[in-house]
Amino acid sequence: MSATTTTGTGDLHRSERRWGRLFIAPPVIGFALFALAPLLFSLYAAFTHWNGLSAPLFSGFANFRTMAGDPQFWQSLGNTLFLMIGVPIGLAISLILALALNRQMPGRAAFRVIYYLPGVSSVAAIAILWQWALNGDFGLVNQLLAAVGIDGPNWLAEKHWVKPALILMGVWKGIGFSTLLYLAALQSVPRTLLEAAMLDGAGAWLRFRHVILPMLSPVTFFLVVTGIIGGAQMFAEINIMTPTGGPEFGSATIVWYIWQQGFQNLQLGYATAMSLVLGLMIFLVTAVQFYLNSRNIFTVE
């Protein structure tokens, strides 16, 4: 297939275009059916009183007024934001790991597999695994801490420790994926640039700071964006590890709260309204990120 097929207008290309449309039809129809249609419906449902058992009733802005005055909504939103501390921590660790793995050393492939393993495991399995690891007394984490003389807390049952515990798990889970991407990006940093910098007298740190880091910025950007979107939608781990929203609602994320309202408390209309607000927030944050990114783009001329 040459590039001309897309711009051609003659009979020769008509069938090609038809085939082309046919081939893109499945994803487009899939998107329309399973993403766009629910989105449009949610635009309506957010303005209704809807218990999920019978038909929705229009209720104007009632759901949004409730939301503004709902302490649990704000708390779960705050919890979700707090848990995102894990994003930069995870990126820093991944970068360090990628730098280490980017050198010729024996067993590199094995390490890559080990770091990537959590990324391909089921979230439910990981959550159950960590639930045990974080157990107050005989959990692995506290046993390790005990080995260095620290008396670890009961992670999942204490208000102040449940979030750090979840961050720890999140970082561990995400590290493989980001390390792999960083590694790929590191390997594509042009050798010529590094050599030029060396000739200019740049040491290892300066080369890292002014050549490698900027070359990695597209990957960092991608990871931050997906990390924030993923973090804003954290649910399964919470529902398995702290099924009631954690000590003093300390680990209830916004999506968990949406689920709880929609499926436990017959407030599907309210839940839809919250989802809509969450979707809007994610969109805005991502838009801001794209804007900031476009202002300091780094290119090799």
Partner 1 sequence: MTMRRRRFLTGAAGAAAAAAAGVTAGCGNLHSSDPDVLTFMFRGSTEERDVFSRAVAVFEERTGYEVQIISTSADQYATKLQTAILGNSVPDVFYLEPPRTMAYVTNGVLADLTPYVEATDLPVDDIWTAGLDLYRFDGEQIGKGPLYAMPKDLGPFSFGYNKTLFEEMGVEPPDPDVPLDWDEFLERCQALTGDRDGDGATDAWGTSVNIGAEIHSYVWSNGGDWLSEDARTITIDTPEFAEALQYIVDLREVHGVTPSINETEGMDGYQRWLRGQIGFFPVAPWDLTLYRTLDFEFDLCPYPAGRTGVSATNIGSLGIGVSAKSLRPDRAAELAMFLACDPEAQAIIVGEGQTIPNTRSHAAEWVKDTSIEPRNKQEYLDIVEDYGHFVPNALTYTPEWMDAFFTNIQPVLEARADVGEYLAATQPVMQDFLDSAREQFRIDQEANAR
Q: How far apart, in whole angstroms, are the C-alpha atoms of residue 158 and residue 161?
A: 5
Q: Which of residues 115-174 bind partner 1 (CB under 8 A)?
A: 135-138, 154, 157, 159
Q: Which is nearer to partner 1, 150 or 206 (CB)?
A: 150
Name which of 179 and 267 has its Cβ closer to partner 1.
267
Q: Binding to partner 1 by residue 19, rule CB under 8 A?
A: yes
Q: Does 53 bind partner 1 (CB under 8 A)?
A: yes
Pick the binder of partner 1 from 82, 116, 208, 249 (CB under 8 A).
249
Q: Which two tokens stand for residue 287?
A: 């838009």
55 binds partner 1 (CB under 8 A): yes
Q: In angstroms, rounded to a whole number, what is the distance separating the alpha carbons of residues 271 and 55?
A: 15
Residue 264 interacting with partner 1 (CB under 8 A): yes
> Residue 49: in which H helix or E strand, if any?
strand 48-49
List the interface residues with partner 1, window 30-49 (CB under 8 A).
Answer: 49
What burial class does residue 179 get, using C-beta atoms within 10 Å of its C-beta: 0-12 exposed, 13-18 middle, 19+ buried?
buried
CA distance 55 to 71: 28
Going by the DSSP 8-state scheme, the letter that residue 48 receives in this structure is E
Which residues from 190-229 bind partner 1, rule CB under 8 A?
none
| 263 contributes a contact to partner 1 by CB under 8 A | yes
The answer to whether the beta carbons of residues 254 and 81 sit under 8 Å apart is: no
- Which structure tokens are listed for 182? 């960083």
* Site residues for partner 1 per CB under 8 A: 19, 22, 26, 49, 51-55, 57, 135-138, 154, 157, 159, 243-245, 247-249, 259, 263-268
